Structure 1
Amino acid sequence: MFEHKSNSFINIDSAKIYYETLGDPQKQPLVLLHGGFGNIEDFNDILPLLEKEYRIIGIDSRGQGKSTLGVEKLSYARIEKDVETIIHRLKLENPVILGFSDGGIAALRLAASKNVAIDKLIVIGTEWHSKSLEESKGFLSAITAESWKNKFPETYEAYQRLNLEPDFDKLTSAMVQMWTDESTTGFPNERVQQITCSTLIVRGDNDHLVSRQSAFELAEIINKSHLANIPFCSHEVIAEKPKMIADIINSFLK
């Protein structure tokens, strides 16, 4: 289980990016990328349910968990570059990448770039195209540090507990800019056509951030893809149905 008790950081372009490893270092790497305002502990419910043994690497995204924000503009491209750098620095070969929400967007970008040879890709609750902002940009732009703290106090408390340089107002502003970024540093858009690794797409059927149509379109575009639409679940499908999600992931990884 991830506990944020190690002191493993990699300095990347003005930020200290925290990572934690579990399992046998000789096994295949499984890289975990969390969602917005989250951290690697968000995956703890599914880790004991994985059937195959991996070298598991959890990465706190820039500005979140124990990782510092740095002075670079926060974007999905920036997170993608951080993950790519860590994979190369740790010499991770043939990794499986699992990304949730924001982490999934960075994972899609990474798989499309082909700067890392990825064995398999898993994205959960993940949007892929900036056209989704037609419906979501309004409410995303209205998010403030205070509104987020009021609605999700547990994520704020975890951030304050873990982060080396906590500044929640600054982080919230950076996150909103990333979420509403319609430029080339944002969503991968049509570049997902370049993804060739076997891909699992998972979505909660009541996900208000990722539509059924969007998930279906992504599955249609990526060759060798599999789509799991989980009934009666929201965006936080991992937390709501950890065993079901783990069973699907185990089947895919076999």
Structure 2
Amino acid sequence: MAFAPGVSAEELWRTLPPTPAPIGSDHGGSIEINGIHLFYTEIGVGPPVVLLHGGLANSDYLADQARALESSYRVILVDSRGHGRSTRDQRPFSYDLMADDVVALLDHLRIGRAAIVGWSDGGIVGLDLAMRYPDRVTRVFAFGANTKTSGLQDDFANNPVFAAYMARAGRDYARLSPTPNEYAAFQEQIDKMWQSQPNWDDAQLRTIHAPVWVVDGEHDEGIKREHTEYMAATIPRAGLLILPNVSHFAFLQDPLFFNDAIKRFLAGDLERQR
């Protein structure tokens, strides 16, 4: 693991480890749904789990989690619309639209219900699914998510780790995207979404009945701790988990601990299968 100058091994939250190698699988590819070409890949056998990455990223970021789960679950990784290897259309980005994409993918795969493990924007999409498509979601592990724009730190983009991530995201986009020269326009569209969404009220959050864990890193660069605590207190019966010594990129900084948390959360679905 590489560390920034002056950062000790004990300060994982100040690092941005490399993105994992992509999942190699014969199952998946690019499919035409909801007006775009959506890229996905899947590995493993068992109850279905959809892994959703954060804004500006791609599904490779969650490859370690997929590998950790494949022995017990059917794991589906998705490049959200406009991200990674997926295309976008002229419609403005929204969490509702990305949630609709996930449902269209589940329909394509003939999956009735799935657990959602989401990081950042992926966690927001998971909560969106739980509200708007409650019959399609078994449970939601929402890491580093927010439910109001006021839950974001004002200066998170200036944080050194987050700035390094955004620079990496630009390089990844140029390497993977079907429109490799359009990163600036893509980022501008995502920024517009972040400025206005999500903004769910308490009544909307209280409609969530699927089991939810609200999870964040102790040193998250982007999400206010009080907002994470508010989410857990407002979503019915939600659990709250703060992961020590990590940030918004905990799944890279301490993947073993992060994966153990996911497995403990998903174990409820395995118990129901028995």
TM over 0.5: yes
Alpha-carbon displacement from aligned partner over 1:122-172 (angstroms, at most 9, x marks no partner)? 011111123325x53x776x9xxxxx9876332222211111122111101
Q: Does 1:80 align with 2:92?
A: no
Give the structure-1-normalised TM-score: 0.86
Pairwise mapping of residues 86-125 of structure 1 onto structure 2 (< 5 A)?
A: 86-114=105-133, 116-125=135-144
What is aligned with 1:177?
A: 192
Shift of 1:81: 1.2
What is aligned with 2:200?
A: 188
Query: SS of 2:136's equivalent?
Result: coil
| Percent of pairs with identical residues | 27
Q: 1:139 to 1:199 in 2, by over 3 A?
A: closer
Query: SS of 1:223's equivalent?
Result: coil
Q: Give ranges in structure 2 of 5+ residues lacking alignment.
A: 1-21, 268-274
What is aligned with 1:15?
A: 36
Shift of 1:248: 1.2
Q: Does 1:230 align with 2:230?
A: no
* Counterpart code for 2:140: L
* Counterpart code for 1:248: A
Aligned partners of 2:40 and 2:70: how far apart in 1?
23
Shift of 1:35: 0.3
Alpha-carbon displacement from aligned partner over 1:81-130 (angstroms, at most 9, x marks no partner)? 11121112222123111110011111111101135431111011111123
What is aligned with 1:245?
A: 258
Q: Give ranges in structure 1 of 5+ residues lacking alignment.
A: 143-147
* Counterpart code for 1:104: G
The number of aligned residues is 241
Give the structure-2-normalised TM-score: 0.80
Shift of 1:8: 2.0
Name whichever of 48-57 and 193-202 sits farther off: 48-57
Name whichever of 48-57 and 196-205 sits farther off: 48-57
Aligned partners of 1:50 and 1:85: how far apart in 2?
23
Cα RMSD, aligned residues only: 2.4
Shift of 1:37: 1.1
Name whichever of 209-218 and 151-160 sits farther off: 151-160
Of 45, 67, 71, which aligns to 1:48?
67
Q: Is the 8 A contact 2:140 2:211 kept in 1?
A: yes
Q: 1:252 to 1:52 in 2, by over 3 A?
A: farther
Of 146, 165, 168, which aligns to 1:154?
168
* Counterpart code for 1:188: W
Aligned partners of 2:71 and 2:27: how far apart in 1?
24
Q: Is the 8 A contact 1:52 1:250 kept in 2?
A: no
Alpha-carbon displacement from aligned partner over 1:203-253 (angstroms, at most 9, x marks no partner)? 001112212211111111122321110122111111111111111111122
Shift of 1:52: 5.4
Name whichever of 51-60 and 104-113 sits farther off: 51-60
Aligned partners of 1:154 and 1:6: how far apart in 2?
27
Q: 1:8 to 1:63 in 2, by over 3 A?
A: same
Query: SS of 2:64's equivalent?
Result: coil
Q: Does 1:205 align with 2:218?
A: yes
Aligned partners of 2:26 and 2:84: how far apart in 1?
12
Q: Is the 8 A contact 1:13 1:72 kept in 2?
A: no
Q: 1:248 to 1:169 in 2, by over 3 A?
A: same
Q: Is the 8 A contact 2:44 2:70 kept in 1?
A: no
